Amino acid sequence: MGFSHYELPKMLFIFLVFMNSCMFSYGGNFIQEFDFNWGGNKVKIFNGGQILSLSMDKLSGSGFQSKKNYLFGRIDMQLKLVTGNSAGTVTSYYLSSKGPTHDEIDFEFLGNVSGEPYILHTNVFSQGKGDKEQQFYLWFDPTKNFHTYSIIWKPQHIIFLVDNTPIRVFKNAESLGVPFPKNQPMKIYSSLWNADDWATRGGLVKTDWSKAPFTAYYRNFYAQKFNKSQFLDAKWQNQELDANGRRRLRWVQRNYMIYNYCTDYKRFPQGFPLECRNF
């Protein structure tokens, strides 16, 4: 069967789009993409590697890390968090390099007693220094269904997204003398662990071990490495959120942000960190 000269350009375009996606994206199978480095049989795989669960009991938590390193890109992961009384538990999902001057980009989900909302804790480390926390409530129950948590990491900014809604933008402020994570490749990590010395109400509420094991679920991992040639494109480099994205960001920060280090007068009585000028 032949194709008309009108169909061929369309087919060629679809083929090129497909090939481009193959070159710059991969993922989805936890067996192929991750090492299970902590917790032994507390890490479980389902559906041939399409779904993963982490569990924690009084003996230990569990965790995994990516086999590949990443230097700029977009990382998506769907999580369904520990149900019921999750006080004292932390489910973490983050990018990190190694060493005392490591870089890191964090999502941490701080558990709570039944009926109380999770706190989503975000942080950025540059050259081993963090202390750039913002915390949020979510506008849904993250234990009922899977939701997508994403990191877009570019040389000019880091964007945190929940179900494709931006919740935080951390801009490159190297012009002010603030280090920005841009030189160290990072792996993807996730873990479920006990942090009842600080996670819930500053450590006042402890883990109820009678509710163990605590379990969180993961699926639909996706990683897109940005094409190096894009870094030469000034328009791409300077591209920020569109108008709708900026509106959604303001909506989240106005209604769901519960802590921002850039407004913590008690913590910074001598003045806020330099990068807070970009907030």
DSSP 186: B
Contacts of 19 (CB under 8 A, 6+ apart): none
Catalytic residue among 7, 33, 108, 116: 108
In three-state secondary structure terms, 12 is helix
List b or e across 48-87, with b for residues whose CB sees 16 or more CB atoms inside 10 angstroms.
Answer: eeebbbbbbeeeebbbbbbeeebbbbbbbbbbbbbeebbb
- Helix (H) or strand (E) holding 44, with range, is strand 43-46
Closest alpha carbon to 108 in 98, 117, 119: 119
Distance separating the N- and C-terminal Cα atoms of the chain: 59
Closest alpha carbon to 89 in 65, 67, 64, 60: 60
User: Cα(16)–Cα(90) distance, rounded to whole angstroms?
Assistant: 42
User: Cα(194)–Cα(150) distance, rounded to whole angstroms?
Assistant: 24
104 as an active site residue: the answer is: yes
108 as an active site residue: the answer is: yes
Report the C-alpha dihedral over residues 11, 15, 20, 26, rounded to 10 degrees.
Answer: 130
**In this structure, what token pair is assigned to residue 212?**
């163990």
Catalytic residue among 7, 104, 116, 174: 104
Count the Cβ atoms, other than its own, within 10 Å of residue 231. Answer: 14
- Helix (H) or strand (E) holding 82, with range, is none
Active-site positions read 104, 108
